[in-house]
Amino acid sequence: MSEAVLIHPTAIVSTDAEIGAGVRVGPCAVIEPGAKIGDGSRIEAFAHIYGSVSMGKNCHIFEYTSIGSDPQDHDFGSERTFVRIGDDVLIRENVSIHRATGEGNETVVGSGTWLMEGCHVAHNVILGEHCVVTNKAGFSGHVHVDHHAVIGGLSGFHQFVKVGAYAMVGGMAKIIKDVPPYSMVDGNPARVRGLNIVGLRRNGFTQEQRTRIKAVYKFLYSGEIGRREAIAALEERFPGDEFAAEIALFARSLKRGLTRWYRGRGDKSGGLE
């Protein structure tokens, strides 16, 4: 027997929305026609779920959240676009997530990701699985964050920036260049401060693996040769190394350039662009 759906009498839930088994909808929440809410999800008071949204199972959406409204983009022309939310996503109070620009495109929040209070996820942003985004961080359009990244509160991201897997961005950081995988980035302007050691340990990376990643970045940021030459040489310098291959793949896909490495007080060079 399917678990009962519980909808508060003051909620407005369209009969054309797809509501899964065991969904709970709180007071004055709005779920528009076309929205899809997965089994076991919970929508708290005053949340607004637009018709562009497809939400997975066991998500928890807190008060005053807005998901799927029109993007803040001059190029948007009311085309049909979407927001896709994975399973087990936690979205806290006052978060806003906008649907994409461009016919058929999506804004995506991956399974297991947490968005804490007051975050903004703009059009065409892709957040990977098991990311943690802390209070009031803001992603401009087309930002791409890979899986298991941790984003500090009040940090801001330029359009088209990419953040690599297992990276950590410090609170109030200004991110205008791409953040490499496994790194820890902080500051305004942001600089790479080293590896995300704590995050790597928590996710089961061994000392040997962390040492290999550090060696790859030591070569990449050495400044001995140009960026393009260093990227091209990574897999030759570290043959068969999975981390060198991943970092090289990431670096080849950059649109904003790599975040510089912090060289200490008064740093003006910071290594490779």
Predicted confidence pLDDT, tens digits, the chain (273 residues): 579 999 999 999 999 999 999 999 999 999 999 999 999 999 999 999 999 999 999 999 999 999 999 999 999 999 999 999 999 999 999 999 999 999 999 999 999 999 999 999 999 999 999 999 999 999 999 999 999 999 999 999 999 999 999 999 999 999 999 999 999 999 999 999 999 999 999 999 999 999 999 999 999 998 878 878 998 899 999 999 999 999 999 999 888 999 999 977 655 444 333
Angstrom CA distances, 214 to 47, 167, 220, stand at: 44, 13, 10
- Rounded-to-integer distance, Cα 59 and Cα 38, Å: 8
Give whole-number Cα distances, 158 to 81, 150, 202, 260, 270, in Å: 22, 17, 28, 16, 20
Residue in the structure block whose two tokens are 């199972």? 57
The SS3 call for residue 21 is coil
Q: How far is 26 from 63, CA to CA, in rounded Å? A: 9
Distances (CA, A) of 207 to 19, 198, 200, 264: 46, 12, 9, 25
Measure CA 218 to chain center: 26
Name the E strands within 92-140.
96-98, 106-109, 114-115, 120-121, 126-127, 132-133, 138-139
